Amino acid sequence: MKFFADTADIDAIAELNDIGFVDGVTTNPSLILKSGRDILEVTKEICALIKGPVSAEVVATEADDMIAEGRKLAKIAENIAVKVPLTWSGLKACKTLSDEGTMVNVTLCFSANQALLAAKAGATFISPFVGRLDDVNLDGMDLIDDIRTIYDNYLFKTEIIVASVRSVNHVTQSALIGADVVTAPPNVLKKLTDHPLTENGLKAFMADWAKTGQQIL
């Protein structure tokens, strides 16, 4: 399974990338706002840092305007994936941009039917939001399971990006289901290393080592 960093923070991306932890990056208008950077400038910088797909989102709501924005974003770098919302206009834009050879990430997916439409429109990626479904007392991982089954049934090539990831359990469940990608904030990705038994074991080792009076360096 691939890991995408869900952030526009260059320093956070660079830290994860240095240890081979990042296969791509996803951004959205909220993350651009949080970064305090110009969208074209920061996206270009991310694309230069990361070899994998970098999702940059359109902000228009009509298909023709989405297509125009998508074409402009796609010119930033070869690894841009234009992000469009899962609306009727977004699907029209997806079809046009995909036919032109641009990677497209269809976002804000909350149902299996939506995911089916995105795949038929030629989406490179589909981004179901599991955390937001959990917020309204639905199990977001059920959606991932449904999409995986549908895509496998019909051999769709669209990759499933599990988005709105809130916990390490979302990551584990995504891997068990067979999702292609998890996109998560850097703090969630870093928490994948955490386990109380690891911490307790290390403390015991360090205590015993101190008693030896030895040094390696």
Q: Which domains does the chain have, with CATH numbers?
A: 2-212 (3.20.20.70)
Catalytic residue among 83, 92, 191, 203: 83
Is 190 among the catalytic positions? no
Contact 51, 25 (CB under 8 A): no
Classify 13 as helix, strand or coil.
Answer: helix
Calpha distance 60→90 (Å, rounded):
9
pLDDT at 78: 98
pLDDT at 88: 98
pLDDT at 214: 97
pLDDT at 130: 98
pLDDT at 28: 96
Stretches where the chain sits below pLDDT 50 are none
Global confidence as pTM: 0.96
Those residues whose C-beta lies under 8 Å from the C-beta of residue 58, and which sit 6 or more positions away, are 65, 66, 69, 70, 73, 82, 83, 84, 93
Closest CA to 125 of 144, 108, 100, 107: 107
| Residue 173 structure tokens | 């469940």
